[in-house]
Amino acid sequence: MNEEKKCLRCGGINLEPGSIQSSGRVCFRPKKAKFLSPRSADVWVKANICIDCGHMEFVGDAKKTKLLIKASSRQAVCPAGLS
């Protein structure tokens, strides 16, 4: 069953996919993500806009976010007296 996406605000079906742009990259960075990691801590954001009411919906990569948070929780703890 292929359900049509609807606007979360007005229920309209006239959604246009796109991306959010700036002079730099726009991304989401989880608060718990380790700053220096082998992979980028940035999660790209996709967007849809409702052509009927202008409401915008942002969607990020949940799988990458979970990996970043999990990697952060495995951070090594410094042994006593070495800090």
Q: Which residue ranges make up each domain of the chain?
A: 22-71
Rg (CA), the chain: 18
Which tokens go with 5? 């996406």
In the chain, pLDDT over 90 holds for what percent of residues? 31
pLDDT greater at residue 17 or residue 43? 17
What's the rounded Cα separation, in Å, for the pair 67 and 32?
11
Report the pLDDT averaged over residues 2-12: 88
User: What are the residues facing 58 on neighbouring strands?
Assistant: 47
Look up the pTM and report it.
0.61
**pLDDT computed for residue 6 by the predictor:** 95
What's the length of the chain?
Answer: 83
DSSP 12: -
Which has the higher per-residue pLDDT, 59 or 39?
59
